[in-house]
Amino acid sequence: MSPISLLPQLLRRAAERHGERDAIVMEGTRLSYAALEAESNRFARSLAAHGIRRGDRVALWAPKSPRLIAALYGIMKAGAAYVPIDPGAPPARMAWIARDCEVAGMVSIGERAVAIDEACGARAPMRALWWADARPPAATPAIAGLPGVPWAEVETEADGAPAVAALDGDLAYVLYTSGSTGEPKGVMLTHRNALAFVEWATATFALTPEDRLSNLAPFHFDLSTFDLFAAAAAAAAVHPVPARLAAFPAAIAEAWTRDRLTVWYATPSALVLLLTRGGLVGRDLAALRLLLFAGEVFPVKYLRELMGLAPQARFANLYGPTETNVCTWYEVPAIPADDRPLPIGRACSNDEVLVLDEAGRRVPAGGVGELWVRGATVMQGYWRAPERTALVLQPVEIAPGLTDLAYRTGDLVRERPDGALEFLGRRDHQIKTRGYRVELGEIETTLLRHPAVDEAVVIAVPDPEITHRLLAVVVPRPGAPVTEADLKQHLSLTLPRYMVPESIVLRATLPRTSSGKVDRRALEPPLAQP
Amino acid sequence: MSDTATENTIREFLIHDVFYDRDLSRLGSDQSLLEAGLLDSLSILKIVTFCEESFGITIPDVEVLPDHFDSVRSIAALVERRRAAKA
């Protein structure tokens, strides 16, 4: 067995050994591993033909489709890194990321040509755009000088991967995540980073070609790296939920049980919706053998209910920020008897975890400290942001004479007597809502960019189903008339929808602590009422 | 087909409270909300709650399906069916 050092080699191996098996099953379409391998080779050649070179970045901004998956492999085969952008992100955010990451090309769909044109315009130093759908793109003035490559042209390329040198330490993808300073930041991950997790997961969960994996997470969310690459590692099939169904729990529950998926991986928020709104009770879950969740704390009340519906299945909590992918895990041994939160467990994926105090010293077992992660999945840094990277990737003495860079997660944890770690909270203003990671500071900064806003505070109110709801309190500039609707519109132009607070309250002043800081606590109770 | 009062109520809610926009002309009754990726699961829950409260109906979870939420017109049709079911 030749060693795997690049993600696309997982696909090639699956195509060689199990070429006839389903790689992707989506909306009645089945694409075999042989077909996916060939399609991604053709896409890689199309990229090369239009000047995409080793070390480049290519963005994806389109709804999920089998072609988008072929494109993502093709980008890596061309020696470039893929940059998946939230397909629901407003064009201004897409354009910001495309510019920040200096993408050399973009894969999208024809109907978005005008939006890309308006948002990126002449400022996009791209070499070409690829249209992953059959619809011809609308005529676009500013990017008209760029080649727009229809998929029919991709299909004319020869099969066979282009010969591009690459090492496992090269970037495979860049994932943009919320940044506290008001701009998203690009997390740089290599093939080796991803493979350390994928190889661990494939072995630990004994994935086989007989498995059928769900894929609900969008590709800019790192849960998708399990769905796509662990499936390829095992030559199992992945069943991406089409954008049309993704917002409908009843439709997802129907598809997953009808297709007899064996492995489900999703955020607790999504799983709770399947349970409370999807009519999971009464469906046949006999095929489900493994249920994985990550991204936030699973309310035990719902987990218990879910475990009761599929007593034959293994359940595991996977933990890790985008910067480290999954670095600890906890397999739920039995239906929990009480409502104490599940631990995040122990290190995995060839990682090591450390619990350190503010001064960087080890916290004695049982004490509260910050979680640091060292090892194979830890990111290379934030794209073109060495100062921000230096704040979170720091040398830590592991043992006398052994010092290594470790990632400080900002998560506060405590080690239980049995060695499993418990998550206790954050040391900053980063929160989770519906599995999405949000820096409250990014929303506040965006509010402050509105000319009529003097002060802004965003508060995360705990919610039993979606972890947190967002609420904002704004002090308008005197004499500047502004409404809640104005501010929501302002936010929605640059932020994804899940970052727009449900309610924005206007006030003349903000409560302050004796030291003059905004008293966030004082803002919470009256707002917590729905 | 001309737009009904139900359609206009739903359109206004979508524009102001789901898309946080102002311009009502930007949403035709037959425009696909799902193909354009305009709705996420939280938006759907907001629309369901709004319709239940504004039109005095209940929408069972099993009726919350893509075909019923694909356009302003299809949401209005669902509302009318639920009204008829209640009557």
What letter would DSSP give residue A138?
P
Grade residue A120 by pLDDT with cuts at 50, 70 and 90. Answer: confident
pLDDT tens digit sequence for A441-466: 999 999 999 999 999 999 999 888 88
Q: What is the ipTM of this complex?
A: 0.91
CATH code 3.40.50.12780 region(s) in chain A: 7-246
- Dihedrals phi, psi of B40, to nearest 5 degrees: -115, 180
Q: What average pLDDT does range A6-26 have in this prediction?
A: 98
Mean pLDDT across chain A: 93
**Phi–psi pair at A67, nearest 5 degrees:** -65, -35
**A273: chain B residues, CB-CB within 8 Å:** 41
Average pLDDT in the A63-73 region?
Answer: 97
Which CATH number is correct for A7-246, 2.40.160.10, 3.90.1150.10, 3.40.50.10490, 3.40.50.12780?
A: 3.40.50.12780
Across residues A162-184, what is the average pLDDT? 92
List phi, psi (to 5°) of A348.
-150, -170
Mean pLDDT of A74-80: 98
- Residues of chain A in contact with residue B31, where contact means CB-CB under 8 angstroms, are none
Return the pLDDT at A121.
73
User: How much of chain A, in percent, has pLDDT values that exceed 90?
Assistant: 80
- Average pLDDT estimate for A73-91: 96
Of B22, B36, B44, the CB nearest to A247: B44
Contacts of B66 in chain A (CB under 8 A): 244-245, 248, 251
Q: What does the alpha-carbon distance between residue A89 and residue A93 come to, in Å, rounded to a whole number?
A: 6
**Residue A530 above 50 pLDDT?**
no
* pLDDT band, residue A248 (cuts 50/70/90): very high
* Three-state SS sequence of A71-95: HHHHHHHCCCEEEECCCCCCHHHHH
Average pLDDT over residues A122-144: 73
pLDDT above 50 (res A418):
yes
Q: Flag whether residue B77 sits within 8 Å of chain A, measured between CB atoms.
A: no
Alpha carbon of B67: minimum distance to chain A alpha carbons (Å):
9
Tokens of B71: 């356009």
* B15 Cβ under 8 Å from any chain A Cβ: no
B61 chain-A contacts, CB cut-off 8 A: 249-250, 277-279
Chain A: give the shortest CA distance to residue B60, in Å: 9
Q: What is the pLDDT of residues A297-335, one digit of tens each?
A: 999 999 999 999 999 999 999 999 999 999 999 999 999
Q: pLDDT-based confidence at A372, cuts 50/70/90?
A: very high
Containing A69, the helix (H) or strand (E) segment is helix A66-77
- pLDDT tens, residue by residue, A210-234: 999 999 999 999 999 999 999 999 9
Test B41 with A248 for CB contact under 8 angstroms.
yes
Supply angle C-alpha A128, A132, A136, rounded to 5.
80
User: CB–CB of A501/A447 below 8 Å?
Assistant: no
Instruction: Quote the pLDDT of residue A181.
Output: 82
Q: Which of A249, A279, A500 sits opposite B41 (nearest CB)?
A: A249
Which of chain A's residues have a Cβ under 8 Å away from the Cβ of B41?
246-249, 270, 273, 434
With beta carbons under 8 A apart, name residues in chain B contacting A246.
40-41
- Average pLDDT, integer, range A259-285: 94
Q: What is the DSSP code (8-state) at residue A428?
A: S
- Whether the Cβ atoms of residue A253 and residue A282 lie closer than 8 Å to each other: no
Residue spans per domain, chain B: 5-86
**A349 to each of A195, A197, A298, A408, how far by Cα in Å?**
9, 5, 22, 17
Q: Quick one: DSSP state of residue A495?
A: S
- How much is the pLDDT for A118? 84
For residue A123, give the DSSP letter. G
Predicted pLDDT of residue A527: 45
User: Is there a contact between B22 and A489 if contact means CB atoms under 8 Å apart?
Assistant: yes
Question: Each residue of A479-521: pLDDT tens digit?
Answer: 888 999 999 999 999 998 899 999 999 998 888 887 777 888 7
Q: Does B41 touch chain A (CB under 8 A)?
A: yes
B59 CA: distance to closest CA in chain A (Å)? 11
Distance from CA of A502 to the nearest CA of B (A): 9
Q: What is the DSSP letter of A184?
A: -
- As given in the structure block, the two tokens for residue A168 are 């496992």
Closest CA to A302 of A324, A331, A320, A276: A276
Chain B residues whose beta carbon lies within 8 Å of the beta carbon of residue A434:
41-42
Low-confidence spans in chain B with pLDDT less than 50: none
CA–CA separation, B47 and B26 (whole Å): 18
- Which part of chain A is CATH 3.30.300.30? 430-528
With the C-alpha atoms ordered B63, B64, B65, B71, is the resulting torsion angle positive or negative? positive
Q: Chain A: give the shortest CA distance to residue B9, in Å.
A: 17
CA distance linking residue A130 with residue A149, whole number of Å: 5
**Buried/exposed code over B37-53 (b: 16+ C-beta within 10 A; e: otherwise):** bbbbbbbbbbbbebbee
* Fold classified for A430-528: GMP Synthetase; Chain A, domain 3 (3.30.300)
* CA angle (A425, A471, B7) in 5-degree steps: 130
User: Minimal CA–CA distance to A450: which of A479, A416, A481, A487?
Assistant: A487
Class of the CATH domain delimited by B5-86: mainly alpha
